[in-house]
Structure 1
Amino acid sequence: MAIWQYQLFVVPEEETNSYFGDNLFINNNALNEINWWKYRQLSIDNFNNFKSFLPLKQSWSSDIILFGDESSNCIELLIDNNRIIEISIRIDVRNDYKEFVYALCDFAQTYGCVLLNDTLKVLSSTVKLIEHDIMIHPLYKLFLDKLNE
């Protein structure tokens, strides 16, 4: 992941509530060990709203369905046995990312999901909250510092 990319994971809200209740953070082991999509499955068609600005592309891995560009804005769907097991998002802060954040929040609200940032903080899917989390993220500050050098 580049310093200009802010990363999120998408998980079903009921699963975070079931495992973690009102906790604001989950642990790294939980991210990797919990089968987040065991009781609810999305299909690639659920991501059609993103295709207008994140075209479907070939990933480096045959287990990943990629929307967008790995070095910019993208959605990666990790697939196992034809099922989505992880949804990872990267937002390119070098460009105007507002349309992507709006679409992402709309997607999460439509499908009852929450977002986890790279510190695994549970974020509700509101545009202002995601934009604020991007602005206070240490990598974003590092990117701005490098840009201003």
Structure 2
Amino acid sequence: MAIWQFEFDVIPEKEKNHKEGAWKRNIISIESLQYLEEILPKEPSWTGDICQYGKIDETCIEFFYDDNNLSDIHVKLDLRNLTKKHLSTIINFIKINDAVLMVNGCHVKPSLVDIAQEIKKSQAYRFINDPLETLLSGYGKDD
């Protein structure tokens, strides 16, 4: 993770109690992937077990596979240049797939307001607003 990225997992709404491999019993909508690809082009990944949309050090979504079965979805938001359009598209992707966000062990509804509240609590947000102070205060000690 880059210091400027806010990260979270996407899990199916009905699997909120089971984080690990939550997607193994669920299906992602093909239309939602096409919708996602409009803002985050498919990129090569460092391994064949990950399908990546967007650049790894920017806003990206990683789909993790285990034996060709989707197991997990991980999102990284680049707070240096995150747009409302990008965030809205990602939120819609999550909603289309009847999913929620998992942020620091807590479930968050896929809404602009709820995600914005979580972002504002993050180390990445503090870094974007005051990089020097964030670095001098010992970034990473408690993260």
Q: TM-score, with normalisation over the residues of structure 2?
A: 0.84
Structure 1 unaligned spans of 5+: 20-29
Please state how far the C-alpha of 1:137 moved relative to its aligned partner.
1.3
> In the alignment, is the contact (CA less than 8 A) between 2:59 and 2:82 conserved in 1?
no
Secondary structure of residue in 1 paired with 2:25: coil
User: What residue in structure 1 maps to residue 117 of structure 2?
Assistant: 132
Q: Deviations over 1:68-123 (max 9, x none)?
A: 00000101001112211010000000003321211121112111100012x12110
> In the alignment, is the contact (CA less than 8 A) between 1:75 and 1:90 conserved in 2?
yes
How do 1:24-103 and structure 2 match up within 5 A?
31=19, 34-42=20-28, 46-103=32-89
Please state how far the C-alpha of 1:56 moved relative to its aligned partner.
0.6
Change (3 A) 1:77 1:44: farther
Q: Give the counterpart letter for 1:126 in structure 2.
A: S
> In the alignment, is the contact (CA less than 8 A) between 2:24 and 2:69 conserved in 1?
no
Secondary structure of residue in 2 paired with 1:71: coil
Change (3 A) 1:48 1:139: same
Please state how far the C-alpha of 1:147 moved relative to its aligned partner.
6.1
Change (3 A) 1:134 1:98: same
Question: In 2, Cα distance between the equivalents of 1:58 and 1:44?
Answer: 19
Backbone CA RMSD of aligned residues: 2.0
> In the alignment, is the contact (CA less than 8 A) between 2:29 and 2:97 conserved in 1?
no
Secondary structure of residue in 2 paired with 1:90: strand
Question: In 2, Cα distance between the equivalents of 1:37 and 1:129?
Answer: 23
User: What residue in structure 2 maps to residue 110 of structure 1?
Assistant: 96
Secondary structure of residue in 1 paired with 2:119: helix
> In the alignment, is the contact (CA less than 8 A) between 2:9 and 2:74 conserved in 1?
yes
Q: Give the counterpart letter for 2:112 in structure 1.
A: V
User: What residue in structure 1 maps to residue 2 of structure 2?
Assistant: 2
Identity within the alignment, %: 28
Q: Give the counterpart letter for 1:102 in structure 2.
A: S
User: What residue in structure 2 maps to residue 24 of structure 1?
Assistant: none
Q: TM-score, with normalisation over the residues of structure 1?
A: 0.81
> In the alignment, is the contact (CA less than 8 A) between 2:32 and 2:96 conserved in 1?
no
Question: In 2, Cα distance between the equivalents of 1:112 and 1:96?
Answer: 23
> In the alignment, is the contact (CA less than 8 A) between 1:91 and 1:97 conserved in 2?
no
